[in-house]
Homo-oligomer: A and B are copies of this chain.
Amino acid sequence: MTAGDTEPRAAVPAVVAPIADAAGPHVAGLVAAVESRLRDVAGPGEEAVDLAGTAAVAAGGKRLRPLLAIVVAGAAAGDDDERARAAVRAGVALELIHTATLAHDDVLDAAPLRRGRPTAFAEHGRAAATCLGDALFAAAFAELAAGGSTSAVQALAGACRELAQGELLQRADAWRTDVDEARYLERCRLKTGALFAAAATLGAQVGGVAPEPYARFATAIGVAFQLFDDVLDVVGPPEVTGKPRGTDLLDGTVTLPLLLARAEDPVLRELDLRALDPAGAAAACDRIAATGATVATERRARELVDVALAALPPDGDAGRDRALRLIGRGVVDRRL
């Protein structure tokens, strides 16, 4: 291994490094290329917001969606330069869309922190963060279109509409006590599953395999990921999540742990979310956890992942197969 080879490996977040390794020797390089390209395209050109864009992209965590696309693209993306470039473009576009939606969510939530860092909203204000999100959306489509695949653009645009629908549904449901589990799960599919599915679809297009089974797998993984995320909002700890416990409750977002806990605890059934302060939200989190609702929610998430893993198509690409199983287990074991 030469000195030049160490750089791509270093760009892979430690938590996903075993997945990248399992997928194949080409994957670390592609993940590093996504990282590098993201930094080039993050800013929409106006100085203050270049900074915000760069910060938003830099704060980006595990790059799970690009990794999923690269993993599903499979060994073909390691053997063929054109496919490798397409996989990187897909990864960049997916992460830009993800970052754009986070920027807009943070504006709507007036969120001061994300992953323990100040949000673009907090640092640059409502207008800059809204425009930043719009610019990142546009950058994502430009990046994907540059690869010449309109089917990729259509897949990404479809996911974006679902993301917006999911966000709307969540806000339409805010403070409502009559949301049922089916509606909650549909919200998770739209808010989180859709972009995971788009990652799988884009990856499958690059790899030249039928996208449907991978998109179904990715949807289930995305929903499970959201379920664990909603559990984390209840159980924390804040040092891990980078935000106080009960943020969802304070925003009026009714998630599965609260839905399940309400069936067990009459105090929670009577709880007026609009009257909560941060201390009250933390106390409500304790009550939710005491009913076993967070454990039950995790169990549903595990079941989703188990079913998704069992349904994965047998294919000849051992690296893809190993890596997808690690992604599924990583979601379940809350390492992702």
Contacts and interface: CB of A to CB of B under 8 A. Distances in A.
A134 B131 contact: no
Interface in A101-137: 101, 104, 107-108, 125-128, 130-135, 137
A108 B104 CA distance: 12
Given A44-B165, A108-B126, A164-B44, A153 B141 contact: yes
A145 to B, nearest CB: 4
Interface in A131-172: 131-135, 137-139, 141-142, 144-151, 153-154, 156-158, 160-161, 163-165, 167-169, 171-172
A41 to B, nearest CB: 10
Given A45-B161, A150-B149, A107 B134 contact: no
B104 A130 contact: yes
Contacts of A79: none
A49 interface: yes
Instruction: Please classify the interface of chain A as helix (H, G, I), strand (E, B), loop, or mixed, using the class held by over half of its residues.
Output: helix
A5 interface: no
B154 A145 contact: yes
A48 interface: yes
A46 interface: yes
Given A108-B127, A145-B153, A139 B161 contact: yes
Contacts of A126: 108
A135 B168 CA distance: 10
Most chain-B CB neighbours within 10 Å: which of A46, A131, A148, A154? A131
A130 B142 contact: no
Interface of A: 44-46, 48-49, 101, 104, 107-108, 125-128, 130-135, 137-139, 141-142, 144-151, 153-154, 156-158, 160-161, 163-165, 167-169, 171-172
Q: Give 4 closest A-B pairs by Cβ, nearest first.
A: A138-B160, A142-B157, A145-B153, A135-B164
